[in-house]
Amino acid sequence: MSAETQVVVIGAGSAGLSAHKELARLGISSTVIEASHRIGGRAYSEELTPGVWFDLGCAWLTDGDANPFAAIADRLGIALGRATWEAYNNPDHHRFIRNGVRLGKEEHAACRRYYDDSYAAVADAAENGSDPSMGDVIDLESPCAPPFLESIATGWGVDVDGVSCADNTSSVGELGYPVPHGYGNLVAAWGADVPVTLNARAERIDWSGPGVVVETPKGAIKADLALVTVSTGILASGEIDFAPLLPDWKLQAVLGLPMGTENKMGLAFDRDVFGPEGRGHHTVWSDDSPSAKVDVNGMGFNSVSVFTGGRYAIWLEKQGPQACHDFAVDRVAEIFGNDIRRHVVRSITTAWSSEPWTRGSWACALPGQAHQREHLARSIDDRLFFAGEATMVGGQGTCDGAYRSGVRAAQEIAANLKPR
């Protein structure tokens, strides 16, 4: 492959795909390359059992109908789980299970107060400008701390001592809608009309001359400029050789936004073992076993998604798929009893920290580094542009945030290029 184009877009996830579409709308030609064998990036669905889909990455459209993928799904005729909005977004429907017993009304209310007080303390710390870690400002000794700590570890992929108060406070968006037949499938259907060269990893980006040259195993691409949408995990790894090197301010932005790890385990059952009251969010912890978040029957199927994040998620991932399967079954058994074990028919487990195309789930700002998202989004010499969820403030860590970043970058590029 040897090609010339106005823009070479590196990465065919939500950001790269939306950028290509916006550039085309603005009359600017672009070539999209992707290192892996498929499009979609961290939006990826696999069939757990026939007709039952499991999203290894993003699974819910944050903010419901305000999410651009809601209109895209409607246009494509892809059903969304709008009916589950109330059941899953109401905090009172969140069950807390400690030592195999669901908390009573008073204990549940105490945990909700602890969540509110903790987030208020985090917001106060963010506003005073010091930006400590979340772990520095909350009561870690409270009996209600374990489920909150799990929610942060799974929500950010990092434990509370590594999460910036400012980054957490700027992150907005309610849970929204699930996609019964897969968010990854939705993104793939939307991006199917984008011509993408797959298995074409960007090995070297030469921006020493008047334009850029991107070298891949399939040949070189010459362009006026490049849009980089890969994760900060890939940028930090050094797998892409920039010539000349990225400036120090850009490298500091990359290193200030390392990847977190949230791993998910999908379990399918041969029947409804949850009962009419079982559907919804659960957080499970005990005195002698790890904690987890469990989403039960979210799409109307006999399945659950079990989440773990942070250091424990990375450790468990290294133990292998069977250990992840056992962990997930054990957590579900704490909620519904040991009889559910004989009804498990299949599992799928993720391994995001070792995923070669991302090296993590999403970017999480270190304490004191939340401002680096804006620096990561800045172009270099009006020739290297950047997009992706890591460049967003407000939509960080989301598929729609990545989508919006691609549109934003395309419009910035259009200000520097004339349509052909």
Task: Specify which residues 263 forms β-bridges with.
Answer: 308
In the chain, where are the structural domains located? 3-39+194-257+370-414, 45-59+82-171+262-354
Taking only the tens place, the pLDDT of each residue in 311-366 is 999 999 999 999 999 999 999 999 999 999 999 999 999 999 999 999 999 999 99
Per-residue model confidence as pLDDT tens for the chain (420 residues): 556 899 999 999 999 999 999 999 999 999 999 999 999 999 999 999 999 999 999 999 999 999 999 999 999 999 998 877 666 666 767 899 999 999 999 999 999 999 999 999 999 999 988 899 999 999 999 999 999 999 999 999 999 999 999 999 999 877 888 899 999 999 999 999 999 999 999 999 999 989 999 999 999 999 999 999 999 999 999 999 999 999 999 999 999 999 999 999 999 999 999 987 888 899 999 988 899 999 998 777 899 999 999 999 999 999 999 999 999 999 999 999 999 999 999 999 999 999 999 999 999 999 999 999 999 999 999 999 999 999 999 999 999 999 999 999 999 999 988 776
> Domain 45-59+82-171+262-354 carries which CATH code?
3.90.660.10
Nearest to 142 by CA among 282, 261, 285: 285
Write the DSSP string, 278-321. Answer: --EEEEEE-SSS--EEEEESTTSSSEEEEEEEHHHHHHHHHH-H
Write the DSSP string, 56-89. Answer: SS--EETTGGGSHHHHHHHHHT----GGGHHHHH
338 CB neighbour count, 10 Å cutoff: 11
Which architecture, in CATH terms, is 3-39+194-257+370-414?
3-Layer(bba) Sandwich (3.50)
DSSP 13: B
Q: What is the pLDDT of residue 83?
A: 77
Phi–psi pair at 23, nearest 5 degrees: -60, -45
**Residue written as token pair 């041969």:** 270
Nearest to 134 by CA among 145, 415, 408, 144: 145
| Tokens (6 digits) for 305 | 């998604």
Q: Is 7 exposed, middle or buried (0-12, 13-18, 19+ CB in 10 A)?
A: buried
